[in-house]
């Protein structure tokens, strides 16, 4: 693929998140003449307008591509080493691009948090991607890089200190400011609609091992109800993204041949505070169904630049080995999770694939299984994420 016309093509650059990805590349990699990238979408006029608004070079190439025309997607994929796609919900619009990339050997990264569709893509395209050499990397945004990479970092630190991985890791969202994206809301609604039509989707959504075909491990910790963490006195609430993040963590362990162990336990919840106030907040979070309501953000909508820039997230990881040794780590992000941080993460994941993660073979991957160490280094250097011990 070294002879491809472009290193990266951003498909969906006229959408809210795709525009942020393009703006990030135009700003952060302004002086990097070796990085060849283009934008793609249905409307060349709209893309040209956006390139002007984000101060991208006037010479930035524009590629015509439309999800309704699979031949245009295949032609686009054949021109790039990696395609970044922000066009969702993926279960409605994503499969033709996955098929095209798997066919022509082009790497692919997305922001998917739709496990039913992800399982289908694994079943349908893992073999062809392995044959062509395409690395199809799903969930390269807030779901699920900070969580999946945070678990990997915790395990690496545990092995250094204790000589063994943690049998259990607890992910705890300690603080977060920002809005969930319109794409997240649309994906959730599409997933619920699919579950309504097909009861087998419900079983996939419930299983922590939905993305590990042929492997099911021990029962996992409960995360579905508010609870008091007896060790800290802090109340915990269900975290809306845990159903996808936990699946990706277990898939990473599966793809890497179980370095965390075949009996690994992982849970993910949100910390809401102590006492009666913490309990009330936990119950309120558990009852919140706003992402499914009419007031949920719509695709293409998003926060202002000020709201993105003042957002953040802080995730605590508490690990314990089979011998009872304990470790605490964190992952923190400097922008709102759904947009500001996500747009940087997916861009850096794509660059990492084409520049550093050359050892990863073709197939359907998680970011951690494909490129954990170089991706962590790149995110800390460029994307405002920090991973550390506590």
Residue written as tokens 């694994």?
122
pLDDT score for 351: 98
The per-residue pLDDT for range 134-185, each reduced to its tens digit, is 999 999 999 999 999 999 999 999 999 999 999 999 999 999 998 766 767 7
Q: To the nearest whole percent, how much of the chain has pLDDT over 70?
A: 96
**In angstroms, what CA-CA distances link 168 with 145, 323, 390?**
19, 11, 17
Mean pLDDT in residue range 267-294: 89
SS3 content of the chain, % helix, strand, coil (to 5): 45, 20, 35
Confidence of residue 340 (pLDDT cuts 50, 70, 90): very high
**Which two tokens mark 360?**
């990863």
Residue 200: what pLDDT?
79
Task: Give the C-alpha separation, 273 to 237, whole Å.
Answer: 10
pLDDT at 289: 76
Decide if domain 6-142+341-384 falls under CATH 3.40.50.720.
yes
Alpha-carbon span 327 to 154, nearest angstrom: 8
The pLDDT tens digits of the residues spanning 26-68 come to 999 998 999 999 999 999 999 999 999 999 998 999 999 999 9
The answer to whether the peptide bond before residue 234 is cis (omega within 30 degrees of 0) is no
Asked if 259 and 156 touch (Cβ cutoff 8 Å), the reply is: no
User: Structural domain boundaries of the chain?
Assistant: 6-142+341-384, 145-335
Residue whose token pair is 């304990």? 326
pLDDT of 181 reads 64
Contact by Cβ (8 Å): 63, 40 = yes
Instruction: Spell out the long-range contacts of 272-278 with Cβ–Cβ below 8 A and sequence spacing 24 or more.
Output: 272/226, 272/234, 272/235, 272/236, 272/237, 273/234, 273/235, 274/233, 274/234, 274/235, 278/234, 278/235
Write down the mean pLDDT value for the chain. 93
């Amino acid at each position: 693929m070294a002879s491809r016309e472009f290193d990266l093509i951003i498909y969906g650059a006229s959408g809210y998140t795709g525009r942020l990805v393009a703006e990030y590349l135009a700003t952060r990699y302004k002086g990097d003449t070796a990085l060849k990238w283009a934008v793609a979408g249905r409307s060349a006029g709209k893309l040209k307008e956006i390139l002007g608004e984000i101060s991208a070079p006037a010479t930035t190439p524009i590629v015509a591509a439309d999800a309704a025309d699979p031949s245009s997607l295949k032609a686009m994929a054949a021109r790039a080493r990696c395609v970044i796609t922000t066009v969702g919900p993926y279960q409605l619009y994503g499969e033709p691009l996955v098929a095209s990339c798997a066919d022509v050997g082009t790497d692919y990264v997305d922001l998917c948090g739709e496990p039913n569709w992800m399982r289908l893509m694994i079943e349908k395209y893992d073999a062809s991607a392995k044959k062509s050499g395409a690395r199809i990397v799903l969930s390269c945004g807030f779901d699920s890089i900070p969580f999946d990479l945070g678990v990997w970092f915790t395990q690496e630190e545990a092995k250094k200190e204790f000589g063994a991985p943690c049998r259990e890791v607890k992910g705890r969202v300690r603080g977060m400011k920002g809005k969930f994206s319109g794409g997240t809301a649309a994906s959730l609604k599409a997933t619920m609609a699919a579950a309504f039509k097909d009861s087998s989707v419900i079983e996939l959504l419930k299983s922590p091992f939905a993305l590990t075909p042929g492997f099911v491990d021990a029962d996992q910790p409960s995360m579905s109800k508010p609870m008091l963490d007896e060790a800290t006195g802090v109340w915990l609430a269900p975290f809306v993204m845990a159903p996808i993040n936990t699946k990706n963590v277990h898939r990473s362990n599966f793809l890497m041949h179980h370095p965390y162990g075949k009996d690994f336990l992982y849970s993910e919840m949100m910390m809401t505070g102590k006492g009666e106030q913490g309990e009330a907040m936990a119950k309120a979070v558990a009852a919140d169904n706003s992402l499914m309501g009419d007031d949920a953000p719509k695709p293409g909508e998003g926060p202002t630049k000020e709201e993105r820039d003042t957002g953040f997230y802080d995730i605590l990881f508490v690990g314990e080995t089979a011998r009872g040794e304990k470790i605490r780590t964190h992952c923190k992000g400097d922008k709102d999770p759904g947009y500001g941080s996500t747009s940087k993460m997916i861009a850096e994941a794509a660059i990492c694939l084409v520049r550093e993660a050359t050892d990863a073979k073709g197939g359907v991957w998680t970011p951690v299984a494909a490129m954990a160490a170089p991706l962590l280094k790149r995110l800390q250097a460029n994307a405002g994420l920090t991973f550390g011990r506590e």
